[in-house]
Amino acid sequence: MPATRVLFVPVSGGAGSGEVQRCRVLAQALQARVVREDGPAVEVHFLLAPGIDAGGFSATALSASPTRAPREVAASIRALQPALVVFDGNARVAALDAARDAGARTLLISSRPSARDRGWRWRRMARLDAHWLVGADLRGAPGWRERLARWRFPQVDVRRFATLFAPPGAVAPVLARLGLQAGDAYVVVCAGGGGHRATALFGQAASALARSGITTVAVGVEAAAPAIAVPALPNAELMALLGGARVALLAGGSLLVQALALDVPVVALPLQAEQAARVRWLAAAGAVRAATMPSTTMAATSAQDATGVAQRVRELVDDAGARERLRTGIGALALRNGLDDAVQALAVLLQR
């Protein structure tokens, strides 16, 4: 009996990679959950911009991010004939129509306010089976757009998740590869993915922290010794590393909320406007310390800028009371990893 094909279509290729990472995590968890005696019950395929890693899954390389290549997305859907298409970040109406014509169920995941608002548009809601909102700041009471869309299209299953991430793996093997031991105090610096030009500041701040005597692990950013620089890690390993950190310096994307769900004190340095809004909201809730991106372009960012960000992190490392107050703020938000519920919902979509 052939496996059921699930197609993941995340926004990819620009600044930020939360959508791709989230889809990889969902795909891995779904395959682990839905199994048969004679082999995998779910065949996963990705549609991605050129050069984006599918994390071991089969993939079709598009000419650009799926939002900019809707005809290619529609053609791939017609060729692959999936049972379920998961759009993360945006879904063009033509792609939704192709999925419907193929007999596939459709799910839109929105983790940014702009994507969420596009998802409530009636042309999209009419072609969706489910719309998920993922983000600590997207769990509020429904606005008028959502109320109207849900009234008009009650068949669409709307769900909210604070965050979705792989359960942390064992931290000891990760630390051992870095030359560290369980119990060592360290800081994690990670800007997320996508190659945003501002990530250079994260590497410079990691280098400054390490030079000041703080054990610092820089993930996915270039940092000079004595900082420990490592490439991007699988999500379960990154979650394990974050979970053991005394403090983390992160951007304002999906990774920030994942770290907070692990009760990690964070200094947050947003990279763009939507991240800045999220960080302001979390800082007002007493859950993060906010750092400010310099107004200059990253080509002109100075060592002084990096030193200032590093000092903000060091202050939190040295202040146990401040870290505890942040944990109190995090606890009040009741953030939870919704991966199990999400995978169960995917399984239900496949059965419908």
Query: What is the residue-wise DSSP string for 160-199?
Result: EESB--PPP--HHHHHHHTT--TT---EEEE--SS--TTH
The pair of structure tokens assigned to 218 is 């820089």
Q: Give the pLDDT score at 272.
A: 85
Give the ranges where 9-121 is alpha helix by DSSP (H): 18-33, 70-80, 93-101, 113-119
Q: Highest mean pLDDT range out of 6-10, 50-54, 270-274?
A: 6-10
pTM of the model: 0.91
Higher pLDDT, 236 or 296: 236
Beta strands in the chain (DSSP E): 4-10, 35-36, 39-40, 42-48, 58-61, 84-88, 105-110, 130-134, 157-161, 187-190, 216-219, 228-230, 247-250, 266-268, 289-290
Residue pLDDT, tens place only, 93-132: 999 999 999 999 999 999 888 888 899 999 999 999 999 9
Angle at CA of residue 57, ends 56 and 59, nearest 5°: 120
CATH 3.40.50.2000 fits 4-164+337-351, yes or no: yes
Sign of the torsion formed by the C-alpha atoms of 241, 244, 245 and 249: positive
Q: Give the pLDDT score at 297.
A: 43
Instruction: Please state which CATH number belongs to domain 171-333.
Output: 3.40.50.2000
CATH 3.40.50.2000 range(s) for the chain read 4-164+337-351, 171-333
End-to-end CA distance of the chain: 18
Q: Give the pLDDT score at 296.
A: 44
With 80 as the cut, is the pLDDT of residue 81 above it?
yes
With 70 as the cut, is the pLDDT of residue 9 above it?
yes
With 90 as the cut, is the pLDDT of residue 305 above it?
no
**Mean pLDDT, all residues of the chain:** 91
The pair of structure tokens assigned to 282 is 């979390």
Q: Give the pLDDT score at 292.
A: 76
What is the band of 17 on the pLDDT scale with cuts at 50, 70, 90? Answer: confident
Measured CA to CA, the distance from residue 221 to residue 228 in angstroms comes to: 10
C-alpha Rg value of the chain to the nearest Å = 20
Residue pLDDT, tens place only, 181-229: 988 999 999 998 655 566 789 999 999 999 999 999 999 999 999 999 9
The pair of structure tokens assigned to 237 is 């390993």
